[in-house]
Amino acid sequence: MTWNGLNRKIVTCQRCPRLIEHCQNTARVKRASFANEDYWGKPAPNWAAPDPASVKLLIVGLAPAAHGANRTGRLFTGDRSGDFLFRAMYETGFASQPTSIRKGDGLELIDCAITGVCHCAPPDNKPTLAEMANCRDYLDQTAALLPGVRGILALGGIAFNASLRLLQRTGWEMPRPMPKFGHGAIAWSLPHGTDNPTTPPRRRFVIGSYHPSQQNTFTGRLTPEMLRRVFWGARELINAELGLG
């Protein structure tokens, strides 16, 4: 499986009829402010830095927005959550510009990739447990194609718990009891053993952040400074694991 091959699988996925129907209906009805635009209207693929092998941080969200990624075809692109997210990523060196309106607008990710627990826009932004389970192997395959990843930044409690379970499923031992979600919460996998005494044990971290939804950003639960601190924290952890800080 290649990165592009996985994205082709995601885009053509038909596992969740309810979600596919919602994506297509939203694309037909449209929001009045986007009435003249062609909607994507299907599962949104992963998005990574130009060279996926360079990715050190995997950002995990919940699902595409109905009039954001379901319209533009690129995760967090074209909605208020993305506006908030990309500015923080730009200010901390993870994105090439602070705004993203549509695919092809010049924004490139730096050292990171973006994926979701679900790849289809769900009604009321609430996928079911079964729908999240249907997307689970896509998350596993995404992680497998990014061997240089040192950690995961999880946007919201669902993404945080899904990221912990991802590490467990893919062979990383997690502490017990499992860490609880909180803004800035950090969970480390336990060191892997190695047969090479000159190679230090490898670890992976999961760092949590409140999701940059309007519900959080408009109420002040998540401020720009809070999100910047999480991204700076992720950068420091990565640099420490790489021996750069």
User: How many angstroms separate the Cα of 150 from the Cα of each of 95, 100, 108, 132, 224?
Assistant: 18, 25, 20, 24, 24
Q: What is the pLDDT of residues 86-107, one digit of tens each?
A: 999 999 999 999 998 999 999 9
Residue-wise pLDDT tens digits, 26-78:
999 999 999 999 999 999 999 999 999 899 999 999 999 999 999 999 999 99
Query: pLDDT class for 199, splitting at 50, 70, 90?
Result: very low
Among residues of the chain, what percentage have pLDDT more than 70? 94
Q: What CA–CA distance (Å, rounded) separates 147 from 51?
A: 12
Interstrand relation of 47-48 and 112-116 (parallel, antiparallel or unpaired): antiparallel
CATH 3.30.1330.10 fits 3-241, yes or no: no
- The answer to whether 201 touches 194, Cβ cutoff 8 Å, is yes
Asked if residues 208 and 181 have their Cβ atoms less than 8 Å apart, the reply is: yes
In whole numbers, what is the pLDDT of the chain averaged over residues? 93
Q: What is the DSSP letter of 207?
A: E
> For residue 118, is pLDDT > 70?
yes
Q: What b/e sequence results for 133-166 when a residue is b if at least 16 CB atoms lie within 10 Å of its CB, and e otherwise?
A: ebbeebbebbbebbeebbbbbbbbbbbbbbbbeb
pLDDT digits (tens, 9 = 90+) for 173-185: 888 888 999 999 9
CA distances from 77 to 59, 72, 100, 104, 189 (A): 14, 6, 6, 11, 31
| Inter-residue contact 51 to 3 (CB < 8 Å) | no
Q: What's the Cα-to-Cα distance from 223 to each of 100, 183, 227, rounded to whole Å? A: 19, 11, 6
Which pLDDT belongs to residue 189?
87
pLDDT at 193 over 70: no
